Amino acid sequence: HSPVSFHCPAVSARQTDYAPYFYDNGPSSTNGNMALFSISEDTEVGTQLYILNGTDPEGDAVWFGLTFEKGTREYLRVDPKSGNITLIQELDREVSVTWAIVVETIRVFVTDANDEQPEFQNLPFTVDVPEVSGFTVCSQGTTTTRFTMDGHSGVLRIKPGETLDYETTATHFVIVVAKDGGGQYKGKHQVLTSTATITINVLDAQDTPPAFVGTPYFGYVYEVSLPGSEISTVFAKDGDEGNPNPIHYSITNGSEGVFTINSTSGCISLTAYPVTLRNELYEIQVKELLDYYTMTVVTVRVVDLNNHPPTFYGENGPQSQFEVTMYEHPPEGEILRGLKITVNDSDQGANAKFKLRLVGPGRVLRVVPQTVLNEAQVTVIVEDSAAIDYEKGKSLTYKLLAVEIDTPERFSATADIVIHLLDTNDNTPRFTSEYYIARIPENSPGGSNIVSVTANDPDSGLWGEVKYSIYGSRYDLFLIHPSSGIIYTQAWAILDAEVKSKYNFYVKAEDTEGKYSLAEVFVTVLDINDHAPEFDDSLVERTMVIGAPVKVEAIDADAGSPNNIIEYSIMQAEPDNIFDINAETGEIKLKSYIKSMEIVQNITKQKDCRWSLVVQARDRGSPSFSTTAVVNIDITEATQINGPMADFLLQSRDNPMKALGMVAGVIGILVGVTVLISTATFLRNTKSNRIMPARRIVIRRRPPRDRKPWTFNVPFRGSGNDSSNKFIVGDQEAGSVNVNLNNKGAPCLPPPSCPPPSSNPRPSERPRHWAAVPTVSGGLTCTGSRSSSQSREINISSDTSRIPVSSALVSELKMRLEQKIIESNSSYY
C-alpha cells in the first residue's frame, strides 16, 4: 500500500480557539494516538486492534475518524464515539509494511507471518548428463535411489558406485522438495514446502556392441528358385542408439559357396540352381564386421514345391466314387469293410499334410484318421445306427473331403461314398389311430360292415404285410377281415340297442414275424324306432277329484330319444271338450271352468259321473308309432280335507304300493327298536348274573272271519295350514295312532290277518312280491299307541258323520287296501 493519511480530529460542540489532541501513551500501549503501533499480517478480520484516546481543552465532546488517501485500500475502521479501531481486510506484509498517518504522524508496523511457500527459481530444471558417474547435476533439495542432494546447498549428485546407462534408462525424473524454517500463522506454527521436477537426460556413449534383431532367422529354397533369389535378410542394430555406428555384415561359415550376403543390407541370396544343392538344410553364420563377437545363424531349408493335391485311390487306381451295400441299422462302432480307400499327397513335408472329413447327415458316420501326412488308409465307422434306416432312404451319399492344412494353396480333393441299404424287419405295424369310433343301426342285417381300421408297416416285402384280428375272444358278434381291416358283424348277429348299445374291443395288427400293435374300437348300436308305446292295460280306471289331475302312463321300449319320447293326446271323449291332457306327462284334468259337481251334472245327466276317454300315446321316432287306451274316469268332488294326510291319500289312490312301502318302513323301524331293547335287556341281565326265562314271540294269524274291515277315523282338527294336526289314523282296540310324514314318521300296519284256507299256499309256493298300496298326498303324524301289548290295527272308515269324506274316494281306497293286504298276508311269515 501507499502511505495512508490518518486523521483523528476531535470536534467541539461550539467554536473554540483550541484543537483537541490525542494522548501519547507509548508504543506498547493499546490506546492513545497509535504511535509506532504494530500489527501481525495474520490478524483475523474483525479483530479490535486499538482504542483512540484524546481530549478537548475546552472539555467538549470529541469524535474520532480515519481518512485514507485516494486509491488506497481501507484496512481499518473506527467507531466515532468510542474510538475502537477494527481490522476489516486481510493484511499482507509482502504488499505493504507500514502506513503513514497525517495530523498525528505515527507508523504502524505489520509483522511477518509464515504464509508464503518456498518458490523454485528458473523452472523448469533440465540437465544433460553423460552416462558416467561422479557428476554434479544441479542444485536443489531431495534424494532418490540413484541420486543424492545436499540439503543446504541444493547440489544434486550421482551416488557413489552408481552409474547412468543410456541403454537402460535414457531419461530420469527427480522430484525435489524445498521446505522453509517454519513460523507462526494465525496463531499456529506451520512449515510450508514446495516441489519441483528435475529432468535428467542421459547422453549415450559408445559402450554397447551391436545386436541382431528378429532372431532366429530362417530361409527356404524351393525347387523352382533361381540364382539371385532372396532367401532371407538379417538385421543388426548398434547398442548405442543415441550415437550409433554403421553396421556391416559378412558370412563366416556354412554357405558352401551357394549363398552370399549384401554387406550393408544383410540380404542373403542364392548363387546356384536348387538341383545342385547337396543338402536339405544349411546353417549360415553371419557376423557384424565391427565386432567379432556379434554373430547369428540363418537356417535355410530346401523344400519341395506344393504342386500336388491330395488324391483318393481305390483298388484299381485313382477313384472319385466308392460304393458299398449293407443292412440297415448296423451296430454302432462297426467299420464299413466294403470300402477300400487310400488317400495320398505326393508333396513333402508340410505340403503333404491334410485333414479328412465326411460331409453329409451329421454324426451318422465318422472317418479315421482325421489328419494325414503323405498317405493313409481311410476307415469309415458307424456312429448313429438309428439314422441308417432303409425306410428313410434306400441309400446314403456322403462326400469324403481332403484339405491341406498349412499351405497357402489349400489344395483339396473329394470322393463320393454311396451306401446301398438292405431292409430288415425293424418296424412294428402301427394303426393310423389309437382308437376307432363306429356306429351301426340296430336293424342292420348280419354281416354288415361297421368300420375299417388301417395299420401301416413301412418295412418292405413280406415284412410289410399286415394281418388283422380281433384281440381277445369276448366279442363273438364281430369279425374283422384279416387283410383289409374291415370290421363287420357275424351273419347270425342280431343287434338290439334296447339290450346292449355299447361295445368296445381291441383289434391287433401283426406282421409275419409276430410284431404287433393294438387299437381300441368303440361300437355304438343306434336305436331304431321299432317299439310302439304300451299302456299297462287297454282299459284304465281312474277316479278324478275336481281340481286334481289323474295320470296315465305308457312305456316305449326303445333305447333312446326321440324314439322313446312319448306324447299324449285325447283322441275321443264323451262328452267332448271336457278334459285336457298334458302331452308330456299324461296328466288328465278337467277344463278350468269345471270347478264343482254342479257344473259336471249340468253337462251330463248320468248320476255316477263316469266318463270315458280314448287316450293316444305316440312316440317321436321316425316312423312314429302309437297306441291307444280307454280311460274310464269317475268324477267326484273334492272334500274340505287338507293337510299331509289328505295329500298322501290322494297321491296314493293310483299307487297303493307307495302306502304299503311306507307302512313296511315303519314296521322295520319298530322291529329294529325291539331288537335293540331286547339286546340291551339281555346284556343287563347277563351282567347282573340273573337268569331270565326265555321269551318267544308267537304271532298268531287271525282267522278271516275275525278280520275286521279297515276304516279311516279322520277327525278334523282345527283349521289353517297345520296339516300335521288334521288327520288321525286310529285303531278302535289299540287306541289312536297319529302319523306325520313331515316328522319322518309312517303309519304302522297291524299284523295281517290270515287269508282264507283256500288261498293259503304251501311255503314253497308263497309269492315273493308286495302289492302296491294306494296312497293319498299329505302328511301323517305318529302320535303313538295307548298300549304296546295290544295288537294294532288301522281302521279306515268312511264315517261321514265325523268328517265329510267323498264316498267314492273312500270306497275305492277301502276296496284296494283290503285286496292288497289280503294278497300280502300270504308272504308275511
Comparing 291-305, 390-404, 644-658, the range with the smallest average pLDDT is 644-658
Predicted confidence band of residue 415 (pLDDT cuts 50, 70, 90): very high
Predicted confidence band of residue 449 (pLDDT cuts 50, 70, 90): very high
Angle between helices 656-687 and 807-825 (to 10 degrees): 50
Predicted confidence band of residue 418 (pLDDT cuts 50, 70, 90): very high
Asked if residue 456 lies in contact with residue 504, where contact means CB atoms within 8 angstroms, the answer is no
Predicted confidence band of residue 344 (pLDDT cuts 50, 70, 90): very high
Comparing 518-522, 630-634, 650-654, 757-761, the range with the smallest average pLDDT is 757-761
Asked if residue 204 lies in contact with residue 240, where contact means CB atoms within 8 angstroms, the answer is yes
- CA atoms of 147 and 127, how far apart (whole Å): 13
Mean pLDDT of 297-302: 91
pLDDT tens-digit profile of 264-294? 999 999 999 887 888 889 999 998 877 667 8
Q: Which residues, 6+ apart, have CB-to-CB distance to 734 below 8 Å?
A: 750, 785, 786, 787, 790, 791, 792, 793
Q: What is the model's pTM? A: 0.39
Mean pLDDT of 21-38: 79
Answer yes or no: is pLDDT of 641 > 60: no
C-alpha cell recorded at residue 557: 321300449
CA distances from 120 to 115, 123, 154, 194, 584 (A): 16, 7, 11, 8, 125
- The percentage of residues in the chain with a pLDDT greater than 70, rounded to a whole number, is 73
Mean pLDDT of the chain: 76
Which pLDDT score, from 0 to 100, does residue 618 have? 92
Predicted confidence band of residue 795 (pLDDT cuts 50, 70, 90): very low
Higher pLDDT: 788 or 693? It is 693
Distance of CA 601 to the CA centre of its chain: 82
pLDDT tens-digit profile of 60-109? 888 888 887 777 778 888 888 888 999 888 887 666 656 645 445 455 55
State residue 328 phi and psi, 5-degree precision.
Answer: -70, 160
Question: For the sheet containing 587-590, what is the strand order?
Answer: 550-551, 587-590, 579-581
Asked if residue 404 lies in contact with residue 310, where contact means CB atoms within 8 angstroms, the answer is yes
Q: State how beta strands 125-130 and 193-203 pair.
A: parallel
- CA atoms of 737 and 786, how far apart (whole Å): 8
CA distances from 618 to 138, 392, 563, 590 (A): 136, 63, 10, 22
- CA atoms of 808 and 545, how far apart (whole Å): 10
Mean pLDDT of 600-613: 74
Q: How many Cβ atoms sit within 10 Å of the Cβ of residue 554?
A: 21
